[in-house]
């Protein structure tokens, strides 16, 4: 059950002996049925960069939503699971930027301050293609603290399903992994898909 306002998130547990340490988001996503303890990446940062725990330590089991991605390319469609984000474009690219985020953080930036990894929705941060370089630089500096919004050419909205068609040569990056040739990506939230340990 996704998090509810006014309720505690997760449940007390003990770190098992077979815990998997995941230093990046894609390693968390690759282990949905296992006991995973994030030690790096955007999910880890969004959880407050918790300290490393060892087998036998007290911990909290946290239910986690994931992003189910269907990526269409020249050889057909591939399915990928992401825990943190799907990025189309780049902060300074002329084609704009779209980040579908489950966790709100992207590197050292807090691009979607109200995002939560277990609220049953994702947040979509967008920079319009016509945003000036100067405005992008200013907003990039403010994004570290989540104060880049409101902005007339940048926005955040929430959803459970989105489809993005490729424009020009926009790169596609899913949990840090770059996808080559692609034409379309569809992202859907999967609530309570897995559990992580903190």
pTM: 0.93
DSSP state of 50: P
- Return the closest-CA partner of residue 181 out of 35, 85, 80, 78: 78
For 87, left (φ over 0), alpha (ψ -120 to 50), or beta?
A: beta
* Direct distance between the N- and C-terminal alpha carbons of the chain, in angstroms, rounded to an integer: 18
Q: Would you list the domain boundaries of the chain?
A: 11-65, 67-191
pLDDT tens string 9-48:
899 999 999 999 999 999 999 998 888 999 999 999 999 9
Phi, psi of 34 (to 5 degrees): -110, 170
Question: Any bridge partners for residue 196, and if so which?
Answer: 36, 62
Report how far apart, in Å, the C-alpha atoms of 90 and of each of 14, 107, 156, 170, 192 are.
40, 13, 16, 8, 29
Residues, the chain: 198
pLDDT band at 140 (very low <50, low <70, confident <90, very high): very high
Cα 129 off chain centre by: 22
- Return the closest-CA partner of residue 138 out of 128, 129, 126, 147: 147
Question: Any bridge partners for residue 91, and if so which?
Answer: none
Q: Which residues contact 31 (CB under 8 A, 6 or more apart)?
A: 20, 22, 194
Classified as helix, coil or strand, 140 is helix
Give the fold, CATH level 3, of 67-191. Answer: Tumour Suppressor Smad4 (2.60.200)
pLDDT tens string 149-189:
999 999 999 999 999 998 778 999 999 999 988 999 999 99
Report how far apart, in Å, the C-alpha atoms of 34 and of each of 47, 61, 179 are.
19, 12, 26
pLDDT tens string 60-115:
999 999 999 999 998 999 999 999 999 999 999 888 999 999 999 999 999 999 99
d(CA 121, CA 188) in angstroms, rounded, equals 9
């Amino acid at each position: 059950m996704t998090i509810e306002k006014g309720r505690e998130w997760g449940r007390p547990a003990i770190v098992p002996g077979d815990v998997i340490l995941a230093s990046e988001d894609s390693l968390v996503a690759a282990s949905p049925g296992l006991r995973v303890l994030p030690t790096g990446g955007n999910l880890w940062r969004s959880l407050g960069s918790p300290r490393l725990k060892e087998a036998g330590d007290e911990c909290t089991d946290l239910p986690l939503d994931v992003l189910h991605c269907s990526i269409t390319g020249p050889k057909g469609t591939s399915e990928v699971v992401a825990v943190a984000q799907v990025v189309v474009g780049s902060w300074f690219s002329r084609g704009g930027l779209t980040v579908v985020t489950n966790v709100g953080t992207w590197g050292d930036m807090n691009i979607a301050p109200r995002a939560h990894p277990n609220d049953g929705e994702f947040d979509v941060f967008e920079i319009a293609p016509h945003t000036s370089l100067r405005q992008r630089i200013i907003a990039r500096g403010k994004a570290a603290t989540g104060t880049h919004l409101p902005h007339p050419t940048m926005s955040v909205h929430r959803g459970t399903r989105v489809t993005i068609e490729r424009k020009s040569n926009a790169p596609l990056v899913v949990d840090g992994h770059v996808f080559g040739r692609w034409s379309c990506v569809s992202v859907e939230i999967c609530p309570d898909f897995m559990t992580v340990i903190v």
